[in-house]
Structure 1
Amino acid sequence: MTSEQMSNYKRFLTNQEKLFDKLFKSYDPGINAVYTLYHLPETNVTIHPPRFEIEIQLSMLKLVEVVEPEEKATFLFDYQSNWYDPRLTWDPEDFGGINHIYVPRSRVWIPETTIVDCSEVKVFDNEYTRYVWLHSNGSIGMYTASVTSVVCQMDGNGEWQMNSIQMTIEPVVDNMTYLTRFEGTFSRNPGFYIVLVMIPAYFINVLSIVALFMDIENRSDKFTVGMTNIMSMSFILVILSEDLPKTKNLPILAIYTVTSLAIMLVSLTAVVLLPKLKNYYANRRLARGEKIPKNDEVPRTCWGRIKFYFKVEYVFMAVFQIANFVNFIIIFT
């Protein structure tokens, strides 16, 4: 720093000290700056100053945490407040051209602002000395950082991303008090659950359905395959029940898993009943005197060959595979 720069800096500090003494010599931050003489008789012709106004500007909104079972979202909420205090005005020409200064928050009156409709608020204003900026026309501004938790309805199907944020101002008491409402819209990116839940569950069902309807006569092994799949789906549901919110509307991910479980239950039921149905119809044909072809004997008629190669269990397998695929695809629509 040159000698001229140092001289100017010392001159600034001297003028700032004089300004500080002038502003805060008789200033009491405990006295409210809000004008309160509005409720006078209608016959009074006094010209009143404008109503006290606070300008609030959202500086940053960051999603910190989502507790899905409690349907609670926590945000880092940083906003700027600006207001006017006529007691803190000066002429910059009297103080070396200084038109704004920074003073500790404890030295000025700060209007109360409250974050409503939330379950928990932590404001970071006592951990270290914070300052406000003060302009020569009496305008004051400051930043406030807080961690705010809100309870909102959720549809849990993935990780979160912000879509939009809107601000509205609503009068709440005779147009004298206003509520500033910030409304953020978030959607979920389902990639995490698609990779770790949906795709594995889909292919588990595909392989299980194939195993169930191949060699359908061996029912003991089929029952083991079916029960193993049902236990896997039940285990996935237990995991999801701990992470997804408890709402009256089931999340799509839970619906997908329950539907996959239902498809496997119906498939297992069909595997158990099909051999009995085949034996029942075979006995009826024998009772009518019809010839029952052997399992490895290819029929001579065209329709007989179609029934030989496209057995009923293969038809059931195709139906359940289609149902499993539709259940997988419909979640993206």
Structure 2
Amino acid sequence: LEANQRLYINLFKNYLPYQSPYNTGSTGMKTGPGKVFISLQYLHLTQVIEVQMTHNQVFGMELIWRDPRLTWDPASNNNISYIYVRLRDLWMPEMTACESSSFSGLTSERRQKAKVNSTGHVEVFLIGHASFICEFAVQNFPFDQHWCFYCFALPSYEDNELIFVDGHPTSQSVLDSSEWKMTFHGSRYKTNHLTHKKDPTKIYFDLLLSRRSNFWIYLIIIPAFLIGFLILLGLFFGKDRNNLNASVDLGLIAFASFTFIIGILADSLPQSESISIIGWYILYELLIITLAILTVSLHGALSSAAMAGYTWWSGE
């Protein structure tokens, strides 16, 4: 215990946690830029808000970086190879979630501990929450898939000072939701579209979100088909199939039912210039019902006129 205290006092005697060792022009010129190893070990999709073009995520990540001010010789310090200190007592790379509407940590900085190795490498596990932006193309709804991402950046540093490196964790837990299946597809750097140069201060972790379509199949598509089928059955084989008022009543019932379904879709999907598959499905079903009502009504009118001895071509 005394050896730990002496080591701690020696390390932090002149240590300034708010001063970065990687923000000077001479840093990293000989050995290259400093590296922040980032390993996503826990991913949890909590909510997808398509209307707002966001997906909410809770994630757990391990960060490893080297602070050259925190090095010592274990042989001269009672063979101590690492110590645990409070995270707020250490300098930490200024990291933020890019292309997100909100970002916050779920662990208390006051209680958070970090492992400091004798080589100066600092290891810390952080849990955070963010709402990342993702463009949802709904043309194939409800059988759609979307490429989304986690995005993290080091906004205060140049690429010759401090960069991200994917730590490739040995184990990873991916939790999705009842509506969405989430698959992790590795990492990549941000590419400048003008220079075609990769920016290692900004790292993306690609995700594939696939919609579980069973809900929409069993609660929207099949009921809509049955409603349309029953309407057509009543129009062509009902007792009052040649009655114009009865046909219009069935049509109004169909439109009222489909209006309820359209309301559900409007609340669930973003407003887009493209109509989804299920939108075309409902539109075609409404057109079929409308044509059926017109056909049955016209047939009923012509049949009634024929029974009364009226012919439209002679007007008598």
What TM-score, normalized by structure 2, do the two folds share? 0.76
CA contact (8 A) 2:87 2:109 kept: no
| 1:37, distance to aligned residue in structure 2 (A) | 3.6
- Show the counterpart of 1:133: 115
Distance 1:190 1:270, change over 3 A: same
| 1:177, distance to aligned residue in structure 2 (A) | 5.1
CA contact (8 A) 1:35 1:52 kept: no
Task: Please state whether the residue corresponding to 1:165 is helix, strand or coil.
Answer: strand
State how far apart, in whole Å, the 1-side matches of 2:18 and 2:304 are: 94
| 1:127, distance to aligned residue in structure 2 (A) | 6.0
| 1:125, distance to aligned residue in structure 2 (A) | 4.6
Verify: 1:187 aligned to 2:187, yes or no. no
| 1:64, distance to aligned residue in structure 2 (A) | 0.9
Decide which structure has greater helix share: 1
State how far apart, in whole Å, the 2-side matches of 1:225 and 1:171 are: 57
- Match among 166, 169, 183 for residue 189 of structure 2: 169
- Show the counterpart of 1:160: 180
Q: How many residues align?
A: 270
CA contact (8 A) 1:54 1:83 kept: yes
Decide which structure has greater strand share: 2
CA contact (8 A) 1:230 1:264 kept: no
State how far apart, in whole Å, the 2-side matches of 1:28 and 1:281 are: 100
| 1:188, distance to aligned residue in structure 2 (A) | 0.3
Distance 1:263 1:54, change over 3 A: same
| 1:124, distance to aligned residue in structure 2 (A) | 2.7
Distance 1:176 1:27, change over 3 A: farther
1:60-84 CA-to-partner distances (Å, cap 9, x unmatched) read 2211112232222111132221111
Taking every aligned residue pair, what percent have the same amino acid on both sides?
A: 26
- Show the counterpart of 1:24: 12
| 1:126, distance to aligned residue in structure 2 (A) | 4.1
CA contact (8 A) 2:191 2:199 kept: yes
| 1:251, distance to aligned residue in structure 2 (A) | 2.8
- Match among 22, 38, 41 for residue 34 of structure 1: 22
Distance 1:127 1:195, change over 3 A: farther
CA contact (8 A) 2:88 2:109 kept: no
| 1:236, distance to aligned residue in structure 2 (A) | 1.4
Verify: 1:208 aligned to 2:231, yes or no. yes
CA contact (8 A) 1:56 1:80 kept: yes
- Give the root-mean-square deviation of aligned CA atoms: 2.9
- Show the counterpart of 1:196: 219
- Show the counterpart of 1:149: 131
CA contact (8 A) 2:189 2:198 kept: no
Distance 1:114 1:202, change over 3 A: same
Task: Please state whether the residue corresponding to 1:197 is helix, strand or coil.
Answer: helix
Q: Which moved more, 1:114-123 or 1:152-161?
A: 152-161
1:194-230 CA-to-partner distances (Å, cap 9, x unmatched) read 1111111111111110110115323332322222112
Task: Please state whether the residue corresponding to 1:53 is helix, strand or coil.
Answer: strand
- Match among 35, 49, 61 for residue 31 of structure 2: 49
What TM-score, normalized by structure 1, do the two folds share? 0.72
1:154-211 CA-to-partner distances (Å, cap 9, x unmatched) read 2352821113332102466987853111121101011112111111111111111011
State how far apart, in whole Å, the 2-side matches of 1:200 and 1:180 are: 45
Gaps of 5+ in 1: 1-12, 40-45, 289-333
Equivalence map 1:1-333=2 (5 Å): 13-34=1-22, 36-38=24-26, 48-126=30-108, 128-154=110-136, 155=138, 156-157=141-142, 159-170=179-190, 178-214=201-237, 215=239, 216-278=241-303
State how far apart, in whole Å, the 2-side matches of 1:73 and 1:90 are: 44
Higher-Rg member (1/2): 1
Q: Which moved more, 1:162-171 or 1:203-212?
A: 162-171
Task: Please state whether the residue corresponding to 1:54 is helix, strand or coil.
Answer: strand
- Show the counterpart of 2:150: none
Gaps of 5+ in 2: 144-178
Task: Please state whether the residue corresponding to 2:51 is helix, strand or coil.
Answer: helix
Task: Please state whether the residue corresponding to 1:119 is helix, strand or coil.
Answer: strand
Distance 1:109 1:250, change over 3 A: same
- Show the counterpart of 2:158: none
| 1:123, distance to aligned residue in structure 2 (A) | 2.1
